[in-house]
Amino acid sequence: MPELPEVETIRRQLNELIAGKKIKKVQVSLPKMVKLSLAKFRKIVSGSKIKCVARRAKILIFELSSGWSLLVHLKMSGRLIFRKKGEKLQEQDTKWNHLIYDFSDGSRLFHNDLRQFGYVKAVKTDELADFFVKEKLGPEPLDKDFTLDDFTVTLKKRPKIKIKQFLMGPQNIAGIGNIYSDEILFYAQVHPLRRVGDLKPPEIKKIFDGIRKILPEALTLRGSSDSDYLDARGMEGEYVPRLKVYGREGKKCKKCGGTIQRLKINGRSAHFCPACQRLMV
C-alpha cells in the first residue's frame, strides 16, 4: 500500500500541480530516505524545474530540468501532499514528515512516511531505461499494449506459483498488491491458493478481465484509503466501499452471503469467499 491505482492517482494530480514549478530548496529531516549524499541531492534538486511526473510500477518519476530524475517509492505508508502558498497546513502534512520541497512560487510538497520504508533515488534521466531493465519489472496492466496473450505467456513461465503470489510479484505484472489481487481473484472466482499451471483458459481470461476492470475503477475513485493512503491533495480515496473481500474477514460475502475468510501465503494475507472461490474445481 499504496498500489497502482493510488500511485497513478498521485502521479496524475502532481503532474497538474507541480509540473513546471521550480524547486527553490529541499529540506531533509530523515537522511536515510535519500539514497545518495545530501550534498549531491540538494545540488541536483535545488534550482531545477520539474518537467513532468511519470510512473513505472509503484515508483513515481520526477523528471528534472537538471538532466536527473527523482525516483520516489512510497512503500507501505508514504504520502506526497501538495499545499499551495498560504494554504492552511493540516496535521497530516507535517506529522511524520521527512522531506519538504519548497517551490519558488511559495507552494510546497511534503513527503511523509510513518514507517519510514520509502525512499528517494536520483538517476540520470537518459539512464532511466537501463535502470528499469535492471529492476526486471513486469508489464504495466493499464497499458493498451497489455493483452490477454501477453498475460497468458507470462503465466506459463511460472506454473508452480500460487496465483495470489503471481499477481503480487512485480516481476510478473507491475503494481498489483494485496488489495487488488484479492479483488481481482474474487471477480474471477479463483481461489488464491490455486497454482498458475492448473488454471484453465476461461479462468485466465476472467482474471485478465478483472485486472482491466478493477484497476481502472479504483483509479477513477482515487484508490483505497484502507490504511495510511491519502492522495496528493490530502484526501482519502473512495474505493473502500466497493471492496468485496479485502479487509472483510468474518463479514458476509456481498455475492453469496457466505463468510469471508483470510489466510496467509508467504507471510501475506489473502481474503476470499470459500463458496465463490473454490480451491478444487
Q: How many CB atoms lie within 10 A of CB 188?
A: 24
DSSP annotation of 108 reads: E
Q: Record the cell numbers describing residue 96, joined without a space.
A: 511524520
Cα–Cα distances in Å, from 179 out to 52, 123, 243, 271? 28, 30, 9, 9
> Pick the catalytic residue: 3, 6, 63, 183?
3
**Annotation says 2 is catalytic:** yes
DSSP helix/strand/coil, 154 = helix
Cα–Cα distances in Å, from 163 out to 50, 195, 243? 39, 6, 19
Asked if residues 80 and 111 have their Cβ atoms less than 8 Å apart, the reply is: yes
Asked if residues 229 and 182 have their Cβ atoms less than 8 Å apart, the reply is: no
**Annotation says 51 is catalytic:** no
**Annotation says 194 is catalytic:** no
> Pick the catalytic residue: 49, 238, 268, 274?
268
Asked if residues 89 and 81 have their Cβ atoms less than 8 Å apart, the reply is: no
Q: How many CB atoms lie within 10 A of CB 82?
A: 23
Query: 170: closest CA among 61, 34, 75, 272?
Result: 75
Distance CA 118, CA 97 (A): 12
**Annotation says 3 is catalytic:** yes
Asked if residues 90 and 14 have their Cβ atoms less than 8 Å apart, the reply is: no
Phi and psi angles of residue 231, each rounded to the nearest 5 degrees, phi first: -80, -175
Distance CA 221, CA 219 (A): 5
Question: Which uninterrupted H or E stretch holds 131?
Answer: helix 128-135
> Pick the catalytic residue: 5, 6, 55, 58?
58
Q: Known catalytic residues?
A: 2-3, 58, 268
